[in-house]
Amino acid sequence: MDFRQARRNKKVDIWISSILLLSLLMCVNFVISKLGYSVDITNDSKYSLSPETISQLNKITEPIDIIITIPENNSLPKIVQKLLFDLNLIMNSFENADSKYPIRVHRLNIDAAIPGSELIQKYKITERNQIIITTPSGTKKVIYKFKDLDGTNVLDSNNIFRSKDSIARENIWESGFYEDWKETNNGILEPSKFRGELVVLNGILETASIKDKKNTAYFTRGHGEGSPSDINPQKGFSELRSIIEDKNIKVSTLDLSTSEKVPEDAKFIIITGPRGTFQDKEISVIRDFININEGRLLVALDPVEEISMIDKPAFGLRSIFKEWGIRCHDMLIYDENKNNFDMFTGDYSLKTYSKNNKHQITDNLRDGYYSIQTSRMRPVEILKSGSGNFITSEILYSSRGSWALSSWTNRKFPPIKNELLDMEGPIPVAATSEYKNKINTYSSRGKMVVLGSSNFFTNKRLKENSGNRTFCNNIIYWMLGENKLLDIKPKKVNLYTLNLNENDFNKLLYSLALIPLAIALIGSFVSWLRKEL
């Protein structure tokens, strides 16, 4: 036997086996790269769609095209790069979702694209830095638009100087893609929860779902109410308007004193902080709306000092409240605990929710230990002997150390508790009511929410406090009957992530591949030297 020949054949066999194994691995990697399938192995399924979203996607009536015209490059502000990274992962889940119609995601570079390309011509895409949801029928919604500015001019005395990163951060904050912003050690606000799934889902439903004929929320006027167009931080409700419009609902105003009935397209009647009483005719219009026309009524009443309110408690709305098993007292809630209540500003921090009667509006607020900020409040409780045709719930309370003052306009501050006339805490300040069955003569399924303060939903509260914003969103979803959307919780995001575009990833891959390649070459060279020696 020629052992030298056998040794040579063994080496050739090893080299051939190594080459075949390497070829197999490369082929497997190539095949996997072409498969549009991914597995989410995170503990909380961070990059998977929730079952609630999947069920909502079955409502769409035509295919969806999601077009992203934000170029992926490292010159973008870090917060925009973070949005692209988080968004790309959830977009893959939408593409692979088992929905009735396909959802296609297109990443389009406007600067490099040919103006006559099919996608640009089909959807008339002309601007960069946008995220657009559109359908073949032509319905289109822009869910995000980034203004690519270089910051404000340092020499412009009319504007406070702001960096490009600061402007981008505010822009993303307003888009609603993130929530629960927290200040880091370097003083910069960073988001800790990603709401991309809910934002994209709302955009898809608005563009491609069956449109409800009742799709308008009417704010009443003529009684000194707050306006949905007012941008005043303390008294305006323009932020509430934006939240409602995000749910694919139009917003308008309505003067009940000049209307025989509520318009046919009305889904909500919203009463925010009135100063005058509602007349009997107006009460009759509201009663028909919620009892017969499947109406939803949201009322937020502030404590008032006017003596004229005595003849018609709760601004004349008490009779409707009573029919639905709710009572709204003309009292003022006071709390001696300085951690909860500021006597000078009237600011109040609520952290107590109904423990005995769990409610979908407040479940995630309780689980997340949210606080809700407001100012002066009045009690809103359910009637213990209410109608059996309604399901009533008290969902929000003041603290145990608080009490409600009767005849509070004549009391001195700080007040002394009147054991006979004052109401002991904890005091309910928000209540809901809905039809239980069809026993009564009405055939609808109306809903009502009554709050003891309009300050829950002012611009300042909704912008500065995530608890108020979540509370507001939950109320609207509950009134719409979209209870499944209440369970779509924001995804936690990592504070530090490594964001790479395709070119950067390829460079990193090739750089890392050089190390094992160099080791292999050195090993081969050493083996050759030993053979020669």
pLDDT at 429: 94
Residue 307: what pLDDT? Answer: 46
* Domain annotation covers residue 445: yes
User: 107 with 149, same domain?
Assistant: yes
Count of residues making up the chain: 533
Does residue 24 belong to any structural domain of this protein?
no
Structural domain contains residue 337: yes
196 and 217 share a domain?
no
DSSP state of 355: S
Q: Is 195 found in the same domain as 73?
A: yes
* pTM confidence score: 0.65
**pLDDT score of 308:** 47
pLDDT of 88 reads 84
Tokens of 252: 């308008």
The conformational region for residue 61 under phi > 0 = left, psi -120 to 50 = alpha, else beta, is: alpha
Q: Determine, yes or no, domain membership for 374.
A: yes
Q: Do 156 and 254 reside in the same domain of the chain?
A: no
- 160 and 220 inside one domain: no
Note the pLDDT of residue 386. Answer: 60
Burial class of residue 403 in the structure, from the number of CB atoms within 10 Å of its CB (0-12 exposed, 13-18 middle, 19+ buried): buried
- One domain for residues 194 and 219: no
Number of structural domains found in the chain? 2
What are the angstrom distances between the C-alpha of 250 and each of 87, 212, 446, 485? 27, 11, 19, 19
Pair (275, 244) in one structural domain: yes
Same domain? For 181 and 306 the reply is: no
Q: 126 — alpha (psi -120 to 50), left (phi > 0) or beta?
A: alpha
Query: Which pLDDT tens digits describe the chain residue by residue (533 residues)?
Result: 555 666 666 777 777 777 777 777 777 766 766 665 555 555 555 667 877 788 788 888 899 999 888 887 777 888 888 888 888 888 888 888 888 889 999 888 776 666 556 777 777 777 778 888 988 887 888 888 876 555 445 444 455 556 777 788 877 877 778 877 777 777 777 888 888 888 888 888 888 877 677 889 999 999 999 999 999 988 999 999 988 987 778 999 999 999 889 999 999 999 999 999 999 999 999 999 998 888 999 999 998 875 444 556 889 999 999 999 999 988 888 888 777 766 666 688 888 887 666 788 888 788 778 889 998 899 999 988 766 778 899 999 998 888 898 888 788 878 888 888 888 889 999 999 998 755 444 445 789 999 999 999 999 999 888 889 889 989 998 998 876 565 566 667 655 455 555 666 667 666 766 777 777 777 777 766 666 55
- Per the domain annotation, does 516 fall within a domain? no
Coil/strand/helix, residue 73: coil
Neighbours of 307 (CB within 10 A): 8
Selection from 294, 289, 456 nearest residue 380 by Cα: 456
> The CATH number of the domain where 447 resides is what?
3.40.50.880
d(CA 430, CA 453): 9
Tell whether 420 is covered by a domain: yes
167 and 271 part of one domain: no
Enclosing domain of residue 238 = 213-487
User: What is the C-alpha to C-alpha distance for residues 398 and 379, in angstroms, rounded to an integer?
Assistant: 9
* Domain's final residue, options 471, 487, 503: 487
Listed residue (244, 193, 251, 248) closest to 219, CA to CA: 251
182 is written with which tokens? 């927290």
Q: Residue by residue, what is the 3-state secondary structure of 240-267?
A: HHHHHHHCCCEEEEECHHHCCCCCCCEE
Q: Quick one: 297 and 350 in the same domain?
A: yes
Q: Residue 492 forms beta bridges with which residues?
A: 193
Q: pLDDT at position 345, please?
A: 64
Identify the pLDDT of residue 222: 93
2 assigned to some structural domain: no
Domain boundary among 200, 224, 240: 200
Q: From 166, 200, 234, give the residue that closes a domain.
A: 200
Looking at residue 531, its pLDDT comes to 63
DSSP string, 368-405: TT--EEESS---EEE-TT--TTEEEEEEEE--TTEEEE
pLDDT value at position 239? 93
Same domain, yes or no, for 141 and 283?
A: no
Residue 8 lies in a domain: no
φ, ψ of residue 111 to 5 degrees: the values are -65, -35
Closest by Cα among 211, 214, 196 to 447:
214
CA–CA dist 177, 86 (Å, integer): 10
> If 0-12 CB within 10 Å is exposed, 13-18 middle and 19+ buried, where does residue 472 land?
buried
Statement to judge: residues 131 and 153 lie in one domain: yes
CB of 36 within 8 A of CB of 96? Answer: yes
